[in-house]
Structure 1
Amino acid sequence: MRTDVQSFAVAHLLRRPAAREVGGFVAGFDPSTTSPYVNYATPFPGAEPTDRDVADLIAVFRERGLKPRLEFAPDAAPAVAPALRRAGFGTEAVHTYLVCTPVTLAVPGCGHGSADRAEVEAPATQADYTAIDLALSEAFGGEWASSPEGAARLRRTEEGGGAVRFVRAPGGGCAGGATCSASAEGTAELAGVGTLPAYRGRGIAAAVTATLAGTMFGRGARSVWLEYSGEGSRRVYERVGFRPAGTRLYVSLDA
């Protein structure tokens, strides 16, 4: 049973400003946002929650006015999904996750005229963080709105041991970027890989992804993992060395 990604998920949520341990779960809350993609829970590897544990977890979300929601690797805690089903949780999605190691990492080519030669940068100013937040919001079709709080979260990621990298658009701003969490349990999560529509197909996503993975390996991470949103993005990640390693389950309780 592979548990590193699930152990990472626990450690990552414990970093949240208002994290709570409830039974065999950790709920990670950030008071700066009500987003269910930021405020969610995950089980400890091997957790075997009782129905009372699940009810207590639901109550922690309800008292904050938030939808009870979890993300986890079911193979690392086989007893959790059945307990959640009994409480009425439904599946939002099941995603395959991909893992890259220093051995599999492949830096994109740098042929003449290739967009892979575009300089991948770390943000240096508040304007950079704001531009990245705005570009990623647009790249993901406005699933979340850009905001000062979003830019602040990017800065906290960079300053807290993670990494934010982007390619600057001609004339300024951000053409595409992504983030990677600080590592825990030897691994780190790479997320939010997005490119503005006008700059897609130029190798920006591959360049940013490879740079972030290399950055974390340079800091001692043994692996970097991510989830993909479609076969096109999966091919991009596989080209730079990410390989399928397991699945993650997303569940929530509506009422």
Structure 2
Amino acid sequence: MDLRIQRSVVANLRNRPNPVVSGPFVLGLDLSTDSPHINYATPVPGIEITARDVSGLVQAFGARKPRLEYVVSCAPELEKLLLDEGFTVESRTEYLICTPSTLAVPPAPEGFALFEPTTDDEFAGMISAQNEAFGGGFSATAADVDRYRRNRSAGAVLIAARTADGQYAGGGTAVAPAEGLSEVAGIAVRPQFRRRGLAGAITAAITSRLFAAGGDVAWLEASGEDSWRVYERVGFRPAGQRLYIAK
């Protein structure tokens, strides 16, 4: 499973608007944003990596912050090379996977509707709710909306949550599947709507749509014990280790 996950990450970054190949790395650039959580690199599994390759990757980032995300077992010697180049570990995470046989889909909590956004206003409402949930302001730029629309056109799954009176409560996304796999990410619920089962319902709704489209594995990472429990309740199980590291 580690190798399948890493290959899917490589495929996802190659589908970014401005991908760059630097030796054994793929750098997924999206020039519409400076976010290091969108503009990062990953190693292509099965290719030997040298210190010169790492130096070349740093140069390929240009003025952007050099940052990598990858499955540890697929490049076990890479971490030392990165540390020698001045990188610092951001976090070590365990990823979880879900398959059609483990998925449990709860109903949307009472008072909320889950839907796939299609208009600019709906994209903006969903993005704003996610931004607030992750600690940013309740706002969305035109570039954010364009990016979500472009991702949806490329096969991404987006689910928004809204109250009966029209307040955007949260949302989540999944990248277009590659090799039958897709990463579920950005699961977010605004503070006033939490602990009602909404995060689990959003996660399950996204995952069920991925499977309906022919995918066989969805994966994600939990940010803490609370989110871990949410994901386990809808059928995700721990499967491997990933590393976030930046300079």
TM-score, normalising length: structure 2: 0.95
- Provide the rounded CA distance (Å) in 2 between the counterparts of 1:168 and 1:144: 15
Is the deviation greater in 212-221 or in 73-82?
73-82
After superposition, the Cα gap between the structure-2 partners of 1:32 and 1:55, relative to the gap in structure 1 and judged at 3 Å, is same
After the TM superposition, which segments of 4 or more aligned residues of structure 1 sit over 4 Å from their partners?
Answer: none
Query: Alpha-carbon deviations, 1:180-205, whole Å to 9, x = none?
Result: 11000210000000011111111111
- Provide the rounded CA distance (Å) in 2 between the counterparts of 1:190 and 1:167: 16
Kept in 2, the 8 Å contact 1:28–1:41? The answer is: yes
CA-CA distance at 1:160 after TM superposition: 1.2
- Number of equivalenced pairs: 247
CA-CA distance at 1:120 after TM superposition: 1.5
CA-CA distance at 1:79 after TM superposition: 2.3
Kept in 1, the 8 Å contact 2:113–2:163? The answer is: no
Partner of 1:7: 7
Q: How does 1:53-92 map to 2 (within 5 A)?
A: 53-62=53-62, 65-92=63-90
Is the deviation greater in 238-247 or in 153-162?
153-162
- Provide the rounded CA distance (Å) in 1 between the counterparts of 2:216 and 2:137: 32
Residue 201 of structure 2 corresponds to residue 207 of structure 1: yes
Q: Please, which runs of 5 or more residues in structure 1 have no aligned partner?
A: none
RMSD of aligned C-alpha atoms? 1.7
CA-CA distance at 1:145 after TM superposition: 6.1
Query: Alpha-carbon deviations, 1:110-139, whole Å to 9, x = none?
Result: 4xxx71684311113111000001000001
Q: Please, which runs of 5 or more residues in structure 2 have no aligned partner?
A: none
- Provide the rounded CA distance (Å) in 1 between the counterparts of 2:77 and 2:179: 22
Query: Alpha-carbon deviations, 1:125-161, whole Å to 9, x = none?
Result: 1110000010000011118963221122222222211
Residue 146 of structure 2 corresponds to residue 152 of structure 1: yes
TM-score, normalising length: structure 1: 0.92
> Aligned residues: percent identity?
44
